[in-house]
Structure formats: structure tokens, C-alpha cells
Chains A and B, each alone.
Chain A
Amino acid sequence: MSFINYSSREINCKIVYYGPGLCGKTTNLQYIYRRTNPEQKGKLISLATESERTLFFDFLPLALGDLKGFRIRFHLYTVPGQVFYAASRKLILKGVDGVVFVGDSQIERMEANIESLDDLKINLAEQGYELEKLSFTVQYNKRDLPNIAPVAEMNSILNGRNIPYFEAVAVTGAGVFETLKSVAKQVLFELKKNY
């Protein structure tokens, strides 16, 4: 759910990074945070456990710039990936405009990817959304590791709709901004349809 303020000429949109535990959602946000000009970003907030596992969410506000005189802001959130945080994940999806699914490319994490994507669909449905109708981008992360599944295989498992997908190595930043840009574009064009 975007917030369009004609009075202060601002448009705020919410993007959620979803995916199984340790797939690199927080790493995506950390890279975006590091590579963004100070005047364009707010604080990166991480509600994490002592071992740096996301407990509730990470939050990064980004001010991208002006579009036809309106300031465009994106609020990026991650969900806690671990299975038992299901209740928290559901809450964070509230009011989402676009979703990035971060898949873990390691062969042994394929089942976790599938489980997380199913969980995403269920949680969206509970909020009245359909993944098929939402701005959605898939990222295949950790492409630098040795034991990874081929992209074609990941596509057949995680990308039934044949939506935009990106190969990434979030720790080095490869594919991180491409992913963000893809989902942001979809969100803005979705708004264009309605306003």
C-alpha cells in the first residue's frame, strides 16, 4: 500500500525481501545501505538476535530522487527467515507494494527455498494479496559458491511465472541493485496504472 501525499509531494512505497533463513536478505540491505549516498538514506535498523539473526525485521528508508516533482521514497524491509518466526513474517507483509524473493542457490537449500516461497504465498493470501498480482522479482543469491543449482533448475522450481530474475552475490553486491531496480520499476508502473 503506497502512501501518496499530494500536500508534501511525496510517494512512499514498501518493498519486502523474503526468503529462507540465511539466504542473504539482510546482506542485500546492508550492501544497498553501504553504497547509497548519505543524503539519500536513513538509518539501517536491524532488530536482530545477539548472533545477528533477524528477529523481527530490518528496515532501510531510501529517498531515490524526484519523479515529476514528487519525491520517491522506498522503504525496504526484510523478514526473519527462520521457520519459527512465521507470525512475525506475516506482520511485515502488511501493506507491501513489491516483494523480492531471495533464493539460496546452494543445492542443499532448495527445499528451504520452496518452503519459504509457499510460506510467502500463504501469508500474502491471508492479507488478501495474490503473489501473481503483486510486483515481484526473484534473486538467486550466492552464485559464487561451488555447490549451486543451475539457474534453469532454480527457475523451474521458483519462477513459474517467468518473472524477472537476477543472479547475485549479495556480499560483493553483484546483482543487488539490479534486483532492487527491477522491483521498484514494477511498483511505480503499477501505481501509474491506478493514478
Chain B
Amino acid sequence: MVDSNLVMFDDEFRRIEEELQRLYQQTNAKVLFLVDKNGQLIASAGDTHNIDTTSLASLTAGNIAATGGIARLLGEKEFTVLFHEGDKDNIHISVISQRVILVVIFDQRSSLGLVRLRVKKASEALSRIFDEIARKAEKQEVKFGESPFAEISEEDIDNLFR
């Protein structure tokens, strides 16, 4: 089955941001990211100024995809948690609802145990939000009143490349 497009609306986006903000405070992390499995950055919390978030999102998704490939070769469905330890910073990556990836970057002010514990809780909340988004999309409850595509022309697209 082909994945449907991910459509995000204000309401869900706000709830996701709130959830990330809460997790950010609870874990004492440096930065948090939520990334689509295809490599698109969905939301973030913390100080992202010095980080190339787009590249990070794409590489994280590549990382999860590669690990998922290894898992299937071994007869596992998926490895849901990855952890990379650095000299100063560590990175905790987990898959939520088989669809999105939560990335937590933290240093010595936090700990792996704390991150794991809090991520587990937040995952449940985030999972519920993404289930709702999927349900909405399935029922096509959402109205595309302000569709950006409604009246696009060849010329509009040509202009993008000027």
C-alpha cells in the first residue's frame, strides 16, 4: 500500500509542538526533532539555530531506513530505538506509530535513563495525535478550503524556477 500524503493542520500541529515542548523541559535535552519517516522535518523544540535541521531530518530518516532494512534481514519487524553516544552529545532516536521519528539530542545535563523514560510517555501522546491525523485523512473530514493548488498554472510553476 502506498502511503498517503501527510497533511498537517493548525490544531494537530499545535498539539504536537506542545508535546515536544513538554518533553524538552522534562528531559533537559538540548534539541528535539520530530521527523517524518521519509525525511521531512515536522517540528522541533530547543535551540535549533546552530543545527542544519533539514539535513539532520533527512539523515535520521536514512539511518532509520537502513536500520529497518537490517531488522528485516534478521527477521525483526523494526528496531524502534537507536542510541548514538558521542564525546559531548548523545542522540536518542525512536520510531513512533511506525510513521514518525522522534530525535532527542542531549548532553551530560541529562541521562539516557531519563530520556528513555520520558520519551516513552511522550511517544504515547504523540502516537495518539498521529492516529487522529491518519483517521482524519482517511475519512477526508478535512476541508481544503484554502488549497494552494486550486488555481496553479504552468506559468506559476515556471516562475518558481526563475
Contact = CB atoms under 8 A, between A and B. Distances in A.
Nearest to A192: B149
B6 A4 contact: yes
B58 A75 contact: yes
Nearest to A129: B2
A14 B58 CA distance: 11
B5 interface: yes
B112 to A, nearest CB: 27
B6 A3 contact: yes
A59 B10 contact: no
B152 A188 contact: yes
- Which of A3, A57, A188, A191 is packed against the most chain B CB atoms within 10 Å? A3
B162 to A, nearest CB: 8
B38 A67 contact: no
Interface residues of B, number: 43
A70 B156 CA distance: 12
B8 A7 contact: yes
A64 B160 contact: yes
> B4, B36, B39 — which one has the most chain A CB atoms within 10 A of its CB?
B39
Given A3-B8, A3-B42, A5-B13, A68 B58 contact: no
Nearest to B65: A91
Given A5-B8, A127-B2, A94 B55 contact: no
Nearest to B161: A181
A45 B69 contact: no
A43 B52 contact: yes
B5 A67 contact: no
A6 B157 contact: no
Contacts of A3: 5-6, 8, 36, 38, 40, 42
Given A61-B55, A188-B152, A7 B13 contact: yes
Contact of A195 (B62, B147, B154): B147
Given A3-B36, A194-B5, A61 B54 contact: yes
A45 B148 contact: no
5 nearest CB pairs, A to B: A95-B38, A7-B13, A192-B149, A70-B148, A91-B65
Interface string B1-28: 1111111111001100000000000000
Interface string A83-101: 0000110111011000000
